[in-house]
Amino acid sequence: MSAQEKVKVLLVGETWIVSKFHIKGFDVVPLGGFEDFATWFKDALKPFSDVELTHMPNHIALTLFPDSLAELRKYQVIILSDVGRNTLTFYPDMFKVPMGPDKLKLIQEFVKEGGSLAMCGGWMSFQGFRSMANYHNSPMEEILPVLLYEGDDRMESTEGIKPKIIKDHPILEGIPGTEWPAFLGYNRLMVKEDAQLIATIGNNDVFIALGGHGKGRTMAFASDLAPHWGCDFVRWQHYPTFWHQSIRWLAQVD
- In which band, very low, low, confident or very high, does the pLDDT at 54 lie, cut at 50, 70 and 90? very high
Q: Rounded to 10 degrees, what is the CA torsion of 103, 133, 245, 228?
A: 150
Residue 134 has pLDDT above 90, yes or no: yes
Q: What Cα–Cα distance (Å) separates residue 17 from each residue in 33, 34, 48?
A: 6, 5, 30
pLDDT tens column, 190-210: 999 999 999 999 999 999 999
Mean pLDDT across the chain, nearest whole number? 95
Q: Which of 3-12, 45-54, 181-190 has the lowest mean pLDDT?
A: 3-12
pLDDT, position 2 = 56
Sign of CA dihedral 244, 246, 250, 253: positive
- In which band, very low, low, confident or very high, does the pLDDT at 3 lie, cut at 50, 70 and 90? low
Within 8 A by CB and 6+ apart from 55, the residues are 11, 14, 38, 42
What is the CB neighbour count within 10 angstroms for residue 35?
12
- In which band, very low, low, confident or very high, does the pLDDT at 177 lie, cut at 50, 70 and 90? confident
Q: Tell me whether residue 4 is exposed, middle or buried, using C-beta atoms within 10 angstroms of its C-beta: 0 to 12, 13 to 18, 19 or more.
A: exposed
Residue 4 has pLDDT above 80, yes or no: no
Mean pLDDT of the 236-249 span: 97
pLDDT tens column, 7-27: 999 999 999 999 999 999 999
pLDDT, position 178 = 87
Q: Could you tell me the fold of the domain covering 7-250?
A: Rossmann fold (3.40.50)
pLDDT, position 94 = 87
pLDDT, position 50 = 96
Cβ atoms of 209 and 196 within 8 Å: the answer is yes
Within 8 A by CB and 6+ apart from 101, the residues are 67, 68
CA 120 to chain centre: 3
In the chain, what are the domain boundaries?
A: 7-250
Sign of CA dihedral 187, 190, 196, 202: positive
pLDDT tens column, 63-90: 999 999 999 999 999 999 999 999 999 9
pLDDT, position 67 = 95
- In which band, very low, low, confident or very high, does the pLDDT at 215 lie, cut at 50, 70 and 90? very high
Between 92 and 163, whose confidence is greater? Answer: 163
Mean pLDDT of the 42-53 span: 97
- In which band, very low, low, confident or very high, does the pLDDT at 93 lie, cut at 50, 70 and 90? confident
pLDDT, position 163 = 97
